[in-house]
A = this chain, B = another copy of it.
Amino acid sequence: MKKMINSVESLLEESLNGFAKAHNDIVNFNHQPHYIHRKQSSKPNKVALISGGGSGHEPLHTGLVGTGMLDAACPGQIFTSPTPDQMMAAAESVESGGGVLFIVKNYAGDVMNFEIASEMMICEHATVLIDDDVSLPKDHSTGRRGVAGTLIVEKILGAAAEAGANLAECKTLGDRVNRVTASMGVALTSCTVPALGKPTFDIGDNEIEMGVGIHGERGREPMTLTNASEIVAHLATAIDEELKPQAGQQVLLHINGFGATPLMELYLMYELASEYWQEKGVEVVRSLVGNYTTSLDMAGASITLTLMDDELLELWDAPVHTANLRWGC
């Protein structure tokens, strides 16, 4: 394993220290327990948006804390759920009278720990569960996983909360965005979790892992390495069959790198995916291309599509000022 670290034990703390220092105009880092929160106070009665999950997916979620997006993020150890005390402390810190909305990716550990935190919280609260990964069937035992669509939900909810939507409205909106968002990814290599010191899964030189999860979970099927057009068609078809966008439908197209895939290849995937939907008369009106929901050093990428309408477009376009997503302010 070749990593730029001092020790497996100190990696997260040292990294969060650096993150908070590099962005000390936007965030604060609370050390005991760990959470990152907005430096700028929220408006009174704004719904406080809190997300979290295992580390190793950066910039998700810490890099998305700031005006117009999250109020706080709770990072667990790498690929390990944060604990209820982190969520409760973050909630107490950022709640300003409008209640707390947890945005939770659908993984057993995350779901359980956010539930425990919810049960112990006194303030008004709700949870939006993200399950945008269409690589698993809808009736999969633990449900579908939450992947790169999480960022889309967080951005849109961030704008709504900033504009004064109340907790019930945010909960309804978050569930709605999750329903009109679908993702699927492919891995060319495994990632290597520092604490394990070896790749999470074996993959042949001529193999790709179709439908991989953001922790390197095995996906739908290993496939023979093929060209980008075929890979993109495979991913896009699964998403298209789920969302069934009609001709004339406006969509947001997000190409997300898992960490080690060059931007050149991500933009090539964007070109192929946008052509795929263009041929169906679907209008790609907004785009996001880059490494946002990563899986440490995994090579590969995912495609996310969200069906947009005027309300969602306005919320997507609203100003956002975080470490890793920033426009309009």
Contacts and interface: CB of A to CB of B under 8 A. Distances in A.
A227 B2 contact: no
Interface in A241-288: 259-265, 267-272, 274, 284, 287
Contacts of A22: 267, 270, 274, 287, 289
Interface stretch (A53-61, A81-89, A94-102): A53-61
A264 B11 contact: yes
Copies of this chain present in the complex amount to: 2
Contact of A262 (B58, B231, B287, B289): B58
A55 B264 CA distance: 8
A37 B228 CA distance: 27
Nearest to A289: B22
Contacts of A231: 4
A63 interface: yes
Interface residues of A, number: 60
A56 B15 contact: no
A76 to B, nearest CB: 13
Given A4-B228, A228-B6, A327-B326, A58 B263 contact: yes
A43 interface: no
Contacts of A225: 2
A103 B6 CA distance: 37
Nearest to A253: B22
Interface of A: 2-7, 11-12, 14-19, 21-23, 55-56, 58-59, 63, 78, 188-189, 205, 208, 225, 227-229, 231, 259-265, 267-272, 274, 284, 287, 289-291, 294, 296-297, 299-301, 324, 326-327
A326 B323 CA distance: 11
15 contacts: A4-B188, A4-B268, A5-B227, A11-B264, A15-B267, A16-B267, A18-B272, A18-B274, A19-B289, A21-B287, A22-B267, A56-B262, A58-B263, A260-B260, A291-B291
Contacts of A327: 326
A272 B231 CA distance: 40
A326 B78 CA distance: 29
